[in-house]
Structure 1
């Protein structure tokens, strides 16, 4: 048995029964496990720096490399709360943003 629910104008949820829709579920699981279009592959942990969700932060000088270091630290963090071991990397990123308000905006200096 399947059921479709329209969540919003762009989002739809499809509820399907595993026994009658086995092939469709396997295909969906393959797409999900391949990492999709997200910034981080959920299986390998590899970071997709070209992901549109990261915008230009990973490639835009002068803070792109600093962003990569801090984001990678957060993704790989095992501390609780997540990312607490990355505070220094994020302070460096914030410092870089503050040094370049013409690129990263005037709000970058706000705490």
Structure 2
């Protein structure tokens, strides 16, 4: 019983309350995807709808560990109808500034 209670307080379990919210997901490879969260599971695997590949962080060879922002291509950013992201590849999840996280979680719990 205590394990179930603790599991409900982890980030992967809370992400399901943000389904329908536009998020930006930064991967360990440096890619940034922005899209509407369609689903999330306990392994933090995410599915984004109407996603776009925004940019890519490129490792600067002269300053190892330092990053600079660059385009993944010189063309228009890629737009994808559906993107599946493996949880172990995620570095950060960025929520919109105007999103009230506490209220969204409370509304999700009440669903």
Indicate the TM-score class for this superposition, using the shorter chain for normalisation.
Answer: under 0.3
Greater relative contact order: 1 or 2 (C-alpha under 8 angstroms, separation 6 or more)? 2
Question: If the length of structure 2 is used for normalisation, what is the TM-score?
Answer: 0.28
Structure number with greater Rg is: 1
Structure in which a larger fraction of residues adopt helix: 1
Structure in which a larger fraction of residues adopt strand: 2
